Structure 1
Amino acid sequence: MTDDKIDGAALDGVAATCLWTLRNRAEESMHPGSAFHDPLAERLYRGIDYDYERFGKPSQSHPLRALALDIAIRTYLDQHPAATVVALGEGLQTTYWRLGRPGITWLSVDLPPVIDLRRRLLPREPRMTEIPASALDHSWMDTPDPALGVFISAEGLFMYLERGQVMTLIAECAARFPGGQLFFDSIPASLSKRTMKGYRLSTRYTTPPMPFSLSVSGAARLPAQIPGVATAEDLQPPLGRRAWRSRTLRKIAVLPGPRDLRPSIALVSFAAPPER
């Protein structure tokens, strides 16, 4: 890891969104009274020279999503302590360090420019393997040992893919990693359509197109659509600050109508292998 300032302008398109989520996590971590603590994200934030203001106002959505992921991984590792955690499209996420479990076997998969930035900025870990490739290059699936358990995160990834690509990837994961789990988040169809027309976070930043959307109800139908998918659970992020702490809004968010109009987090469980 280096203390020299890194030029974040080298990233563009979807790759640049890792700076967007990094800014939101770091700002929330530095906020007084926040339940989210990510000191390494703060260091990265300060160590990358970039015009973060172009992303508009900071949001709690990304740090609360990260907290939901932390909880899901810990729960799975409590039951499968020798499992491999695979982070697809990991960007500049710092999940590994937040968990505080250095014995985890970790596989980080992302595009070459992002992996290069991770190698320059993040600590080297003996149990972390980095694969500079697209998550759609299924060769990464040859690395984890399915018998020991596999937890796959696709945090902030699927929305940038096509529907067929996502469904194929889920199906292949279900086939290759019985007993494993997949964590992913999605956006509502209305937001997906806006991004396809040019969704501006500010006057100086337009998000990349996000063609994939999946509602809570749509995720609930995955077990009937994809062989090997046993369950699909809708995860609520932990409580945040101000409006993100409203229990009334949380109750509304799970009602049959409103739940399909909001961003969602799904935890998919793959069917366990047959007993011998």
Structure 2
Amino acid sequence: MYHIEKNTVQETLIIPLFGRKVCSEHFPELFKDPEAERICSMLDYDFAENGQKMESAVGLFGALEVAQRQYDLAWEVKEYLIKHPYAAVVNLGCGLDDTFRKCDNKACVGFNIDMPDVIKVRNEILPAGERENNLGYDLNDEHWMDEIDPSHGAVFFASGVFYYFKTEAVRKLLQKMAKKFPGGIIVFDSCNQRGAKMMTKTWLKEAGISDVGAFFSVEDKAEIEVWSNDFTSVTARSYMRGYRDIYNEVRLLHKLMIRFCDSLVKMQIIKITFK
């Protein structure tokens, strides 16, 4: 059993993992994630408090969001691998996410990148497998890009990561990636500033983020299109309905929350293709 300390980076890592486990239990016809269940069973951690929150109707919607986000990003990775089977698959801000393994075609190469203290935990709980690399870097340190061989293509994804970055930092990162990885793509989740303000009342507050206006949010993909001439295209799809529409599979309250996320919070999956 691996002990998880309360109020540490370790604890923040297991919340999305636990969300996928809860979603797997409550919506098995939509999501089945035995790996999330397996890892949670390995952890010495009192899930009771978080479990109670996630068992509520609102909490279950949060679990749905986490699982749907992984489904969406994995869909884009698999789609890219059809034409680029030997590509580098790069998880930016990976935490304890196992999307690479869910997409592995037995030919691609996986890179899981996060802060060194996070990778230390990951190496204990989710050590790198075959053709997989766990790399400890701050994403703002562009040296991580030198670890990636783009000769067979590169697909990048970031799950719940860019909310913590200032807009200017995201812009510079994407511009550098477009130069370094021609023919590659990046996909990530986003929301508008209203959504970011709502987040400040919860986990962004815990991260010490109060000046939401400076942090990354997207009202319209057109805002990103002008960032670089090295972007071939920028597309956006609904977070909860754009890849697999689960609207008719959930209860009325969750239907209303999906509509709220689409229309007022603009929860989207953004995809950028590099020239």
TM-score class, shorter-chain normalisation, is 0.7 to 0.9
Deviation of residue 171 (structure 1)? 0.7
Q: Is the counterpart of residue 173 in structure 1 residue 177 in structure 2? A: yes
Residue identity matched to 2:149: D
1:220 alignment counterpart: 222
Q: Is the counterpart of residue 90 in structure 1 residue 98 in structure 2? A: no
Deviation of residue 164 (structure 1)? 1.3
Structure 2, unaligned runs of 5 or more: 55-59
In 2, Cα distance between the equivalents of 1:12 and 1:85?
28
One of 161, 168, 174 as aligned partner of 1:164: 168
1:274 alignment counterpart: none
Relative to structure 1, is the Cα distance of residues 245 and 182 closer, same or farther in structure 2, using a 3 angstrom cutoff? farther
Relative to structure 1, is the Cα distance of residues 62 and 140 closer, same or farther in structure 2, using a 3 angstrom cutoff? same
Q: Is the 8 A contact 2:170 2:216 kept in 1?
A: no
Deviation of residue 187 (structure 1)? 2.7
One of 227, 232, 235 as aligned partner of 1:233: 235
1:113 alignment counterpart: 117
Q: Is the 8 A contact 1:195 1:209 kept in 2?
A: no
One of 248, 265, 268 as aligned partner of 2:269: 265
In 1, Cα distance between the equivalents of 2:254 and 2:3?
38
Relative to structure 1, is the Cα distance of residues 246 and 61 closer, same or farther in structure 2, using a 3 angstrom cutoff? closer
Equivalent runs, 1:119-268 vs 2, <5 Å:
119-196=123-200, 199-200=201-202, 207-209=206-208, 211=212, 212-217=215-220, 219-235=221-237, 236-240=242-246, 241-243=249-251, 258=263, 261-268=265-272
2:3 alignment counterpart: 7
Deviates more, 1:64-73 or 1:99-108: 99-108
Relative to structure 1, is the Cα distance of residues 32 and 12 closer, same or farther in structure 2, using a 3 angstrom cutoff? same
2:44 alignment counterpart: 49
Runs of 4 or more, structure 1, over 3 Å off, are 51-55, 243-254
In 1, Cα distance between the equivalents of 2:43 and 2:14?
9
Equivalent runs, 1:10-29 vs 2, <5 Å:
12=8, 16-29=11-24
Deviation of residue 207 (structure 1)? 4.1
Deviates more, 1:46-55 or 1:178-187: 46-55
In 2, Cα distance between the equivalents of 1:24 and 1:252?
21
TM-score of the two chains, using structure 1 as the length reference: 0.82
Structure 1, unaligned runs of 5 or more: 272-276
Residue identity matched to 1:41: A
In 2, Cα distance between the equivalents of 1:247 and 1:156?
22
Deviation of residue 184 (structure 1)? 0.9
Deviation of residue 11 (structure 1)? 6.6
Q: Is the 8 A contact 2:93 2:113 kept in 1?
A: yes
Count of residue correspondences: 256
Q: Is the 8 A contact 2:192 2:267 kept in 1?
A: yes
Deviation of residue 47 (structure 1)? 1.5
In 2, Cα distance between the equivalents of 1:92 and 1:77?
22
Kindly report the root-mean-square deviation, in angstroms, between the aligned alpha carbons of the 2 structures: 2.8
Q: Is the 8 A contact 1:38 1:98 kept in 2?
A: no
1:60 alignment counterpart: 64
Deviations 1:134-160 (A, max 9, x none): 111111111222231111111111001
In 1, Cα distance between the equivalents of 2:258 and 2:5?
37
Give me the identity figure in percent: 24
